[in-house]
Amino acid sequence: MQAGRKVQCCIVGGGPAGMMLGYLLGRAGIETLVLEKHADFFRDFRGDTVHPSTLQVMDELGLIDDFLKLPHDKLQRLEGYFGGTALRIADIGRSGAKHPFIAFMPQWDFLNFLRDKGQRYPQLKVLMSTEATDLLWSDGAVVGVKAQDTEGAIEIKADLVVACDGRHSVVRPSAKLDVEEIGAPMDVLWFRVGKGVETESVFARIEAGKMMVTLDRGSYWQCAYVIAKGQYDAVKARGIEAFRADVMDLAPILKSGIGDVKGWEDVKLLTVAINRLKRWTRPGLLCIGDAAHAMSPVGGVGVNLAVQDAVATANLLADKLMKGRPSEDDLDAVRQRREFPTRVTQAMQVIVQNNIISLALKPGTQPIKPPMFARIINAIPWLQGLTARFLAVGIRPEHVQSPTSTPG
Ligand SMILES: Cc1cc2nc3c(=O)[nH]c(=O)nc-3n(C[C@H](O)[C@H](O)[C@H](O)COP(=O)(O)OP(=O)(O)OC[C@H]3O[C@@H](n4cnc5c(N)ncnc54)[C@H](O)[C@@H]3O)c2cc1C
């Protein structure tokens, strides 16, 4: 066992929630450790969608100019093919957002950016290759974290532990926090296909029994092929040739690059979950981001809700942490603020799942008809601004109000 450490806040997990919260608390002058189990942030096909709500936060932090210098693709209009009919369902240009586009950027660029910018705050330390293994308890309260780094076991004491360790959180079962499963009818297969000069704004493609989303990433297509829940083994059993044929059938534009999908190792399964914690806290412990509520990929909101949780946490708790150990009521104020946007967003995802995705995945040969609400939105441009606002800015957007210390 290595010598222990003591900090004001220990954050478990260096994803969007953990890195943003670390940045904000370091900026406020709070001694903060972020533990990330991987040696780097490089993981393919994690959430790459930086929405206007997150761009607004970067703006409020004075980081937006440098951030937008990182390579990214912009998406402003969300369109889809419903059984051959093209419809526009959201126009972010009409959303009223200051930065009215979704920036597609590899998540590792986003996280590396936050880590690099955070280095100006001496109170913030990010420990890579450091995995939290359990919580430290005293008199029924969480007082720190047990972790493992490259040199062995380590104990970190903290006034507050924040679990940002994602949908497979080890912290929440350690804290015996119950998860309410909402369920999802689908899983998603992610893959990349090489792209020539062709370009297409179409985003979702829905035909009888099939659904796919294609994202134009400049030099390649990022593709999300939607399958019925638990059917991955059945899809695999039909063989990679049959899978490639299904993909080309749905999106002929991918024909020239489909050879990039050589085998199943080029296809990544996302097991879709929608769930949320009933209680986000124990004394000394708070869960946020996917650790508190896993989101469906519908709308690409997971990263952005995680960032919003982090901003709310810093706004509500930075001053309390300056003074010592926040009470559980202080911590629960974060749930009270963020549970409503989480529930409303998950409810909308369930509506899309039940009314579009389940329908699309039903085996059948009848051509898919666009749902009435999609036709109405397509016909009325200001409604496209409304759907875009919900998606891009979200319910109850957070603004940075946490204090700032002088950079070292
Ligand atoms: C394949 C895939 C595609 C997705 N696509 C999108 C998308 O297009 N748009 C979107 O918005 N969302 C998408 N999501 C969801 C999105 O990535 C998450 O909602 C978002 O990243 C949540 O952020 P988070 O910080 O709460 O958790 P995570 O991003 O899951 O981060 C958790 C971090 O904690 C670390 N960690 C875990 N356990 C420990 C431990 N014990 N000790 C230390 N560190 C630990 C992990 O390594 C990870 O870095 C996708 C997810 C997947 C898996």
Model confidence over 88-145: pLDDT tens digits?
989 999 999 999 999 999 899 999 999 999 999 999 999 999 999 999 999 999 999 9
Evaluate whether 39 touches 128 at the Cβ level (below 8 Å).
yes
Residue ID of nearest Cα to ligand 1 atom 6: 47
Q: What pLDDT, on the 0 to 100 scale, is given for residue 390?
A: 92
Question: What is the distance between the alpha carbons of residues 128 and 34, in angstroms, rounded to a whole number?
Answer: 8
* Stretch (H or E) spanning 200: none
Ligand 1 centroid–CA 294 distance in Å is 9
Residue ID of nearest Cα to ligand 1 atom 30: 166
Evaluate whether 272 touches 190 at the Cβ level (below 8 Å).
no
Evaluate whether 165 touches 131 at the Cβ level (below 8 Å).
no
Q: What pLDDT, on the 0 to 100 scale, is given for residue 210?
A: 83
DSSP one-letter code for 395: S
Whole-prediction pTM: 0.94
- Report the chain's mean pLDDT, rounded to a whole number: 92
pLDDT at 364 over 70: no
Residue ID of nearest Cα to ligand 1 atom 31: 15
Q: Which atom of ligand 1 is nearest to the CA of 147?
A: 42
pLDDT at 272 over 80: yes
Write down the H helix ranges in 289-362. 302-323, 328-352, 358-361
DSSP one-letter code for 357: I
pLDDT at 242 over 90: yes
Q: What pLDDT, on the 0 to 100 scale, is given for residue 159?
A: 98
Question: What is the distance between the alpha carbons of residues 90 and 385, in angstroms, rounded to a whole number?
Answer: 6
Q: Choose among 57, 50, 27: nearest CA to 109.
A: 50
Question: What is the distance between the alpha carbons of residues 80 and 87, in angstroms, rounded to a whole number?
Answer: 5
pLDDT of 64-89, one tens digit each?
999 999 999 898 998 888 877 889 98
Among 35-39, 118-122, 374-378, the minimum mean pLDDT is found in 374-378
Pocket of ligand 1 (CB under 6 A): 12-18, 35-38, 45-49, 131-132, 164-166, 170, 190, 268, 270, 289-291, 295, 297, 300-304, 306
